[in-house]
Structure 1
Amino acid sequence: MVKWAVELSQYGIEYRPRPAIKAQIMADFLVEMTVTQEESSTQTWMVYVDGSSTSTGSSEGIVVKSPQGDKFQYAVKFLFPATNNEAEYEAFIMGIKLAMSVGEKKLTIHSESQLIVSQVNGNYEAKEDKMLEYLTEVNELLSRLDNYDIKQMPRGKNESADCLAKLASSLANIDNREITFLTYGKEKTDGSDVIIFCADSEEPS
């Protein structure tokens, strides 16, 4: 170990612990958000959420749209087991927190889950202890908003959030590593490889 420390010291390598995944999502969202409070404080933001629980893992997909048309999309893989309803609630809570993190207090939240939307709107009673805990957390967050509307989307209409949740779930069996997403504008056989989009993202460890 001492030998490696001496060898690597010349490169100025520094160890930094990985922040919690939810905290990092909030931080990234704040960096991406460029709309000022004055521009958006009187308008409603749209939040689309979807949770997924499969044999490969649990995940959530979140899309946040500003009144100016900016769209922020997140695919989040859970590092803990969750049922489908729990995943739906996790996505619901994260969607609200993302919008609130930039000071927005007027939201319209869309979810495919009839159970979660009905419980939040007070039409269904949350009987299981875990569901009651999630509902309590949601109600506490909603109480901090100036105005909100909770809408159930027909299954299949919440496509963006659904695809993001499935994407995050599909990464469950990939070892921890840096993953680079590439989009090519032309076929490889035409002799030119033009990358029109390249984004590095690191799977949470």
Structure 2
Amino acid sequence: MTPNELNYLPIEKLCLALIFTIQKLKHYFQAHTVNLISKANPIKYVMSKPVLSDRLARWYLQLQQFEIVYAPQKAIKGQVLVDFLANHPLPAEWELCDEIPDEDVLNVEVIPPWQMYFDGVVHQEGVRAGVVFITPQQDLLHYSFSLSHKCSNNIAEYQALILRLESTADLNIPQLEIYGDSQLVIKQLT
């Protein structure tokens, strides 16, 4: 769109899109009736202007050449359900009842996820890492360990994360949220 076209009203942008479509697919518009599904009727907008500008007059002439039928978007959404039910009637032998079988099936228990916080640190005495799990029942599980080789803070955090993720397979954790203070590790994890 040109800078001037960006300043158009939303309905004028819709008219412009319709005109562009007509120019590119003119052979389809000539051969068929076109159903325009939209929240606003651009054809009505163009025709309702008492004085047409040069641009609107050109659009009006282009729109009048073709058979375009406007259908509001709300009507189409509701019509889909009606069309489906009309095309798929219930067999006569089916009985309808008001009872809902297996009402317990509709109950869903939402279990909060486990949370894992990890951190690693490098200092003069060595490399240490720690992980804390918080269960859905708010129980805390602490794990800390030392790494035997010298490394950077990021590598220590990677090691803390990797070692604890491997152990989560044994814990049968259905859902786990992971938190850490290293943006580098978090971005690479996601």
Q: TM over 0.5, yes or no?
A: no
* More RCO (CA 8 Å, sep 6+): 1
Structure 1-normalised TM-score?
Answer: 0.37
Larger fraction in helix? 2
Structure 2-normalised TM-score?
Answer: 0.40
Larger Cα-atom Rg: 2
